[in-house]
Amino acid sequence: MTTLYDEAHARSLSDPDGFWGEAAETCFWYKKWDKVLDDSNKPFYRWFTGGETNTCYNALDFHIDKGRGDQAALIYDSPVTDTVKTYTYHQLRDTVARFAGVLADQGVVKGDRVIIYMPMIPEAAIAMLACARLGAIHSVVFGGFAANELATRIDDAKPKVVVSASCGIEVQRVIEYKPLLDGAIDASTHKPEKCVIFQRPMATADMIAGRDVDWIEAMEQATPRDCVPVAATDPLYILYTSGTTGQPKGVVRDNGGHLVALKWTMKNIYDVDAGDVYWAASDVGWVVGHSYIVYGPLLRGCTTILFEGKPVGTPDAGVFWRVIAQHQVKTMFTAPTAFRAIKREDPQAELIQQYDLSHFKVLFLAGERTDPDTLHWAEKNLGVPVIDHWWQTETGWAIAANCMGLHHYPVKEGSPTKAAPGWDVQVVDDACQPVAPGEIGALVVKLPLPPGTLPTLWQNDARYLESYLEEFPGYYKTADAGFIDAEGYIYVMSRTDDIINVAGHRLSTGAMEEVLADHPDVAECAVLGVADQLKGQLPVGFLVLNAGVERDEGEIIKEVIQMVRERIGPVAAFKTATVVKRLPKTRSGKILRGTIQKIADNETYKVPATIDDPTILNEMEVALEGIGYAKARS
C-alpha cells in the first residue's frame, strides 16, 4: 500500500520544483521567485532565486494579519529564576520591532552581522528575530562559551554589534558573561562597534562608556522598525560548528529555503498545527534552538516554549513533566541524553504520575542515537510514540524521521525510520560505490540538498567543498556511518570515525553501546576504540549506573561483557569496561568520545570549548589509568 509519505518522498525527488514550490505558496513573499531550484552553478545549488521575503514577517506579522495576534507565541519558563512569562504574537512582534529599532540606532543595516551571546531568556529570541526583521545576519554563540572561542567567531563573522546579557544561570550557579565578552573582544582582531547588554538582576555588568549600550534604556528610546525585504538567497544566520582543524565552520542558512522547509516540517514531520504548543528543550546556541525553539514553531503559528533549566536539578527529574502539564504541550523535542539523566534519577518514573500529561501526543529525540533502553523506558512511561530522528547543524532539519504528519511507521529500535521527503539518502563504500542493503558504509545524500540546508560556509566556499562534497563526488558527506535495511529504514550507527577496526573487522561502537545500555543497572554508556598493537583497535566501555544501584561493579562489568559476546559475538573483542560517575559531554549533551579516545591513546588533547564541565576529564584520566591505559597530559 502506498502511503502519503511514499507519495511525498517520491515527488520531492522527481519533481523538486513542484514539491517545494507548492510548500512555498503557504509563505509570504514580497516578490515571487523566478526559479524554485537554481542549479546553474553546481554544486552550489540555490532555492527560490529571484524571490524576496522576510523571515521575521513570516514568523510574526503574518499570523497577526491572519487574526492570531492574541494567541500565545512564546512562553518563557525558567525554573532557575522561578519565572513564567507569556508573549502573544502581538506582544512579541512589537517587542521585536522595537529591538530592531535599537539595532538600527547602532547602525545595523541589511547584510551586517550581529553576534548574539545570550542565556536562555526571551531577549535571545527577540534579538534573533530583530536581526531577521532588518535583514541583518545573526550568529548566536552559546552563552558562557570561553572568551577565546567567542573571539574566533568575532574574527570570522566580523559583527558590527554584539548583543549579550550580564549573566547566565547553570542550575544554581551564576555565570557572568560580560568579563568573557570583554576578554573575547580584547583578544579579537575585529572590534565590534557596539555591545548591547541586557542587565539581569543576578549580576550587574560593568559597562564600557562609548561602546556598551544598556538594553532597557535603549528600548525606551527606540522607534519600532518594519520588516526589510531580503532576497530568498540572502543569509539569515551563521551558526558555527566545530571543525577538525580547530577553526570553527560557519554554517550559513538562507532566508527563503529555510522558512519554506521549516514551516513544511512542522506539520509533515512533527504533526503540529497553528495554535498547538510545541517545546524543543534545547538552547538557542545550537541548531535545534534556531530551527525549533525560534523559527519553526513561529513560522507555523504554534506556541513555542523557551525553557531556562535542566532535565534534572531544576528542581528535580520531574521538571519536564511539570512543563508539559502546565503549558499543555502537544509535541516535545529533546536529546536522548536528557531522558537518560531523568531515567537515572527516577528509574521507576514515579514523578511522571504526579502530572496530567493527557495533552501530550508525541516525543521526538535527536542529537545522538537513541538507545533501545531509553526508547522503551520513554514509550512505557509516557504512553506516546517516541520518534528518533537524525539531522545535523549543517542540514538544519531532519535527514531521516518518522514523518508523523504523513504516515506513522512502526518504530524499529536504533533507526530514525526513513529518509524525509527531499532527502535521497544512500550508503556507499570508500570508492563511492553503493553497498548492499544491511551492509555498513558511509551515509551520504545525493545532491542537490533540499531547501533549508547549508548552501555554503561563511565566506569559505573552498572549505565547504572540501568538508562536505569532495570525498564522495555528487553527494553530501554526512560523516555518519550506517546502513539501510530492505524496507528503507536508515540506521545511523556512529560517526564514520567511530567505526573501529578490530583485527580487520569493521565494527560499530554504537551497536555495542546499545547492548550495554540494555543492562538494567546502566543509566548511560559510551564505547570507543583505543589503540592496540595486536588488533589495531579494541573497544572499551564506560558505564554510568542508575541511582541507587549497590551491586558489585565488577559483576556488572562481567555481565555487560558477556552480553556483548552473546549479541555481537567474540569478533567484537569487547573485554574491558569500567564504571564512572559521569561522562564528559558538550553543553548540548553529546558525549565527547573523541576526547576520551585521545586520553586513552596517550595523545595530547585540547579541552573542548563546548564541554559541560572540564573537571570530568580528570576523572576520565583516573578511570583509564585504573584499567591500564596511560594518562595523557592536556
pLDDT of 143-174, one tens digit each?
Answer: 877 788 899 999 999 999 999 999 999 888 89
pLDDT, the chain, mean: 92
Angle subtended at Cα 613 by Cα 612 and Cα 616, rounded to the nearest 5 degrees: 125
Q: Can you tell me the distance from the alpha carbon of 54 to that of 232, in angstroms, rounded to the nearest whole number?
A: 8
Beta strand spans in 496-626 (E): 499-502, 505-508, 522-532, 536-545, 576-579
**Omega cis (within 30) before 224:** no
Domain span holding position 213: 4-309+389-482
Range 277-286 average pLDDT: 94
Better pLDDT: 598 or 442: 442
pLDDT for 181-192, tens place per residue?
999 999 999 999
Beta strand spans in 8-123 (E): 35-38, 46-49, 52-53, 72-78, 83-88, 113-117
467 and 563 fall within a common domain: no
What is the domain-level CATH number for residue 593?
A: 3.30.300.30
Domain tally, the chain: 2
What is the domain-level CATH number for residue 156?
A: 3.40.50.12780
Whether residue 592 contacts residue 620, with contact meaning beta carbons closer than 8 Å, is answered with no
- pLDDT tops 60 at residue 550: yes
Q: Can you tell me the distance from the alpha carbon of 118 to that of 328, in angstroms, rounded to the nearest whole number?
A: 27
Range 65-89 average pLDDT: 97
Range 79-95 average pLDDT: 98
pLDDT at 337: 81
444 and 586 fall within a common domain: no
- Residue 233 domain flag: yes
CA 604 to chain centre: 28
Task: Quickly state the pLDDT bin for 560 (edges 50, 70, 90).
Answer: very high
Q: Can you tell me the distance from the alpha carbon of 525 to that of 527, in angstroms, rounded to the nearest whole number?
A: 7
Q: Can you tell me the distance from the alpha carbon of 25 to that of 413, in angstroms, rounded to the nearest whole number?
A: 37
555 and 444 fall within a common domain: no
Task: Quickly state the pLDDT bin for 506 (edges 50, 70, 90).
Answer: low
152 and 200 fall within a common domain: yes
- Residue 384 domain flag: no
Range 241-254 average pLDDT: 78
3 state DSSP class of 196: strand
152 and 284 fall within a common domain: yes
pLDDT at 632: 43
473 and 617 fall within a common domain: no
105 and 239 fall within a common domain: yes
pLDDT for 311-340, tens place per residue?
999 999 999 999 999 999 999 999 888 898
Task: Quickly state the pLDDT bin for 258 (edges 50, 70, 90).
Answer: very high
- Residue 359 domain flag: no
- Residue 345 domain flag: no
pLDDT for 10-45, tens place per residue?
999 999 999 999 999 999 999 999 999 999 999 999
198 and 57 fall within a common domain: yes
pLDDT for 472-495, tens place per residue?
999 999 999 899 999 999 999 866
- Residue 324 domain flag: no
pLDDT at 367: 79
- Model's pTM, two decimal places? 0.85
What single-letter amino acid sits at 115?
A: I
64 and 202 fall within a common domain: yes
What's the residue count for the chain?
634
- pLDDT tops 70 at residue 534: no
Among the three residues 448, 482, 516, which one is the final residue of a domain in this structure? 482
**CA torsion, points 293, 295, 297, 300, in degrees to nearest 10?**
180
Among the three residues 451, 482, 513, which one is the final residue of a domain in this structure? 482
Task: Report in angstroms the alpha-carbon separations of 631 from 533, 543, 623, 625.
Answer: 18, 19, 10, 6
438 and 294 fall within a common domain: yes
> Of 138, 141, 143, 98, which is closest to residue 308 (Cα–Cα)?
143
pLDDT at 501: 67
pLDDT at 630: 58
**Which DSSP symbol is given to 331?**
E
In sequence order, which ranges of 354-477 are alpha helices (DSSP H)?
372-382, 461-464
Task: Quickly state the pLDDT bin for 566 (edges 50, 70, 90).
Answer: confident
Task: Quickly state the pLDDT bin for 633 (edges 50, 70, 90).
Answer: very low
pLDDT at 634: 41
**Which DSSP symbol is given to 31?**
B
- Residue 305 domain flag: yes
Range 215-244 average pLDDT: 93
440 and 401 fall within a common domain: yes
Q: Can you tell me the distance from the alpha carbon of 630 to that of 395, in angstroms, rounded to the nearest whole number?
A: 38
271 and 170 fall within a common domain: yes
- Residue 366 domain flag: no
